[in-house]
Structure 1
Amino acid sequence: MSRRVLVVDDSASVRRLIVGTLRMAGFDPVEAGDGEEALAKARETMPSAVITDQNMPRLTGIEFIRAFRQMPGSAGVPVIFLSTENADAVKQQARAAGAIGWMTKPFDDQKLLGVVKKVLG
């Protein structure tokens, strides 16, 4: 199984933290600064999992998930929503769009790693 994880966040420091954590655990992280860039990277090579922020320019996390789920081959790819937003309505929108998990920022890197390992089996 591929260990490619697409990390989507407009904050370079958050991406660096997630990418570093994933890389040290043997994953192959790929970075995108917004939803449109993430879609382009997913078209190049479909990831095994996605971690996405909500509040980003060009496409929000929910908009990205909706577009990602329209791509061939994305149906079985787990999407983890990582956001400062904690409202139930946003969580429901994310799940309806196709996210399977939710974590709130700030996050514990080991907990994030545990979630990624769990969703990838």
Structure 2
Amino acid sequence: MMMNHKETIWRDAFGLDDLSEIDGNFLLAIAAAKKEFDGYSQGKWDLKNYIIWLRISENREFVSISFIPKTDEMVGGIFFEIPCGGLYKYGRGYQFYYRLEDTELLEVTGMR
């Protein structure tokens, strides 16, 4: 089936050097963190309302995956949201630390 230019324009959006490389273990840790986040959120916090920060240690042994609510407020480098009537619009932020070799969850920290 032949595609016209309109159907393939998304391919032109990438430059030749716009590559990112991650190890398969990193992807497994991301999937594990998403599962943990889903447990904390009990399905109530839409990921569309979050920014995800991915960090890997210098020795490439550990990874930190942070789920940060998109808010307009930031104090001291930390995003926060003031609850309205005791409820948060987006939910809480969490940071998950994993050992990459075996996707072992080492620590969970709440953000706020």
Bigger helix share: 1
Q: TM-score when scaled to structure 2?
A: 0.30
Q: Based on CA coordinates, which of the two structures has the bigger radius of gyration? A: 2
